[in-house]
């Protein structure tokens, strides 16, 4: 509908509050990056289907020997006429078993400095050379995969941006992903669900319950302010690495311990033989396990803090 970054943030927060799963990687990270760097053909081919929910992307970055040091990636793409031929392996490809396309980081110049020889390709997952194996996570679910590329052929017009200049696209997409991982609505939804249960159970006025509800409300409001600052900056095209990483780090840290506090309340006052209480306990346990991914999705917390220090505070780069 042509609405802006502020409205998109409102929508994402409300979806998170209601525990509604959006195709966030596609909608909130690939889409905006394509808007900035895609060709007219790519925009015409993908943007409207992304908004309609008809096309889904997965991100192919991490590899067995290139995680935090992503620029060490080894998956290659060699030019062959009007195609690139891709060979290699990726790890932790969320949704790689369901995606229509992969947003794939590849090495197109093996002789260039490691940050300079990388490109981004859009890979069709129906190519016979693409395959995946599941990685089962702590919540018992199949979200992520190891993905394999055996002579996968990618048309040259599916190169996003310039050849060997993909690092800028990676950082842009990751900035959007870090914002995506920190919606305040996630905390608000957690609070509301436990508060509703505590009200029905008659324990909402217990001192420890009131303290816990007050704490999560305060944290939610701070998280919301971080979201608004990032949305404001994005609306004028100046989203910063420091702001994006701050939003992600704050939300990921807070949701861990606040979720644990809510679990403690339900365990202290709840009767697990009660069906509604049992369902809430299962929900909170699943959330706790699912939210663990926030501590490393989009980049581990330690690296995020380094980015905040360098880009947000102007401190020197951490020596390696």
Active site positions, annotated: 177
The tokens for 289 are 């396990």
Give the HSE-up count for residue 232: Cα atoms under 13 Å, Cβ half-sphere. 7
Residue 146 bridge partners (DSSP): 133
Please measure the distance between the N-terminal and C-terminal CA atoms of the chain and give it in whole angstroms. 46
Closest-CA residue to 44 (of 53, 33, 54, 35): 35
H/E element, 120: strand 118-124
H/E element, 269: helix 241-269
Could you tell me which residues come within 8 angstroms of residue 319 by beta carbon, excluding any fewer than 6 positions away?
Answer: none
Instruction: For helices 184-201 and 5-17, give the axis angle rounded to 10 degrees.
Output: 30
The tokens for 54 are 């008809």
Q: 284-299 in b/e burial notation, b at 16+ Cβ within 10 A? A: beebbeebbbbbbbbb
Find the angle CA(248)-CA(250)-CA(72) to the nearest 5 degrees. Answer: 40
Find tokens 């997952």 and name the residue: 125
Closest-CA residue to 253 (of 194, 181, 310, 176): 181
Phi and psi for 57 in degrees, rounded to 5? -110, 155
Find the angle CA(209)-CA(212)-CA(217) to the nearest 5 degrees. Answer: 125
Whether 258 and 216 have beta carbons less than 8 Å apart is answered as: yes
Task: Write the DSSP symbol of residue 205.
Answer: T
Give the HSE-up count for residue 276: Cα atoms under 13 Å, Cβ half-sphere. 10
């Amino acid at each position: 509908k042509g609405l802006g970054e502020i409205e998109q943030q409102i929508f994402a927060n409300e979806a998170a509050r209601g525990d509604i799963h959006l195709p966030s990687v596609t909608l909130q990270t690939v889409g905006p990056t394509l808007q900035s760097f895609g060709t007219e053909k790519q925009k015409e081919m993908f943007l409207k289907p992304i908004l309609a929910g008809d096309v889904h992307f997965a991100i192919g970055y991490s590899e067995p020997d290139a995680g935090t040091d992503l620029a060490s990636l080894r998956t290659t793409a060699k030019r062959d006429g009007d195609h690139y031929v891709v060979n290699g392996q990726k790890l932790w490809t969320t949704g790689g078993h369901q995606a229509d396309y992969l947003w794939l980081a590849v090495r197109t110049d093996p002789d260039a400095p490691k940050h300079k020889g990388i490109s981004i390709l859009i890979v069709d997952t129906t190519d016979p050379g693409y395959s995946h194996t599941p990685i089962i996570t702590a919540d018992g679910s199949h979200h992520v995969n190891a993905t394999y590329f055996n002579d996968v052929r990618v048309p040259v017009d599916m190169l996003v941006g310039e050849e060997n200049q993909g690092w800028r696209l990676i950082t842009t997409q990751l900035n959007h992903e870090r914002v995506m991982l920190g919606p305040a609505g996630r905390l608000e939804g957690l609070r509301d669900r436990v508060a509703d249960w505590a009200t029905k159970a008659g324990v909402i006025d217990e001192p420890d319950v009131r303290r816990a509800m007050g704490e999560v409300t305060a944290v939610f409001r701070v998280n919301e302010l971080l979201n608004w600052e990032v949305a404001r900056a994005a609306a004028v095209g100046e989203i910063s690495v420091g702001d994006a990483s701050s939003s992600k780090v704050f939300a990921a840290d807070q949701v861990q311990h606040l979720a644990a506090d809510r679990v403690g309340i339900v365990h202290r006052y709840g009767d697990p033989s009660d069906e509604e209480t049992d369902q809430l306990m299962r929900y909170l346990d699943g959330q706790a396990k699912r939210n663990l991914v926030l501590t490393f999705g989009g980049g581990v917390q330690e690296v995020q803090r380094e980015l905040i220090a360098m880009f947000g505070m102007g401190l020197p780069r951490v020596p390696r």
